[in-house]
Amino acid sequence: MKRAARLAVLCIALAGCTSPPPAAYRVTVPRATFEADLDACESAVAQARAAHGAEGFLTGALLGAAYGAAIGAKHGGADIRAAVGAGVGALVGLVRGVRWSGASVSDCMRAKGYRRA
Provide the residue-wise pLDDT of the chain in tens; the chain has 117 residues.
666 666 665 555 555 555 555 555 565 778 888 899 999 999 998 898 889 899 999 999 999 999 999 988 888 888 899 999 999 999 999 988 888 767 788 888 888 888 876
Domain of residue 72, residue span: 2-111
Does some domain include residue 42? Answer: yes
Does some domain include residue 24? Answer: yes
Does some domain include residue 116? Answer: no
Give the number of domains in the chain: 1
pTM of the model: 0.61
Q: How far apart are CA 31 and CA 92, in angstroms?
A: 40
H or E element that contains 76? none
Q: What share of the chain is helix, strand, coil (3-state, %, to 5)?
A: 80, 0, 20
